[in-house]
């Protein structure tokens, strides 16, 4: 089991691809801006105060339950697929889809 945590950064327009095992979670934020496409496949994802300027593609395949805390801004299309037995929950407050 592992966690990749990325916070307090701004990424340029180059696409970011992360492919990890089903026991790995990626924690994005707080205060993270992604200007390029983010493509993630792994066991879990948590979004906390993230600005995604480009496309978000996410395949969540882990057995863990993932709660995102909110305050996220999505400027383009998002595609999130949960194929694992765990749930994926997004906060109901302060999520902006522009």
Give the model confidence (pLDDT) of 29-50 as tens digits.
999 999 999 999 999 999 999 9
Give residue limits of the domains in the chain.
Answer: 2-97
Q: What confidence score (pLDDT) does residue 97 get?
A: 56
Q: What confidence score (pLDDT) does residue 60 get?
A: 92
Bridge partners of 9, per DSSP, are 32
Q: What confidence score (pLDDT) does residue 90 get?
A: 80
- Low pLDDT (below 70) residues in the chain: 92-98
Q: How far is CA 86 from CA 6, 23, 50, 68, 89, in A?
A: 22, 12, 22, 13, 10
């Amino acid at each position: 089991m592992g966690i990749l945590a990325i916070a307090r950064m701004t990424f340029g327009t180059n696409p970011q691809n992360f492919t990890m095992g089903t026991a790995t979670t990626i924690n994005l934020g707080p205060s993270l801006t992604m200007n390029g496409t983010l493509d993630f496949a792994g066991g879990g994802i948590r979004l906390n105060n993230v600005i995604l300027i480009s496309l978000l593609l996410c395949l969540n395949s882990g057995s863990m339950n993932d709660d995102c805390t909110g305050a996220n801004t999505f400027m383009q299309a998002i595609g999130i697929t949960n194929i694992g037995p765990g749930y994926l929950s997004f906060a109901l407050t302060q999520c902006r889809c522009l």
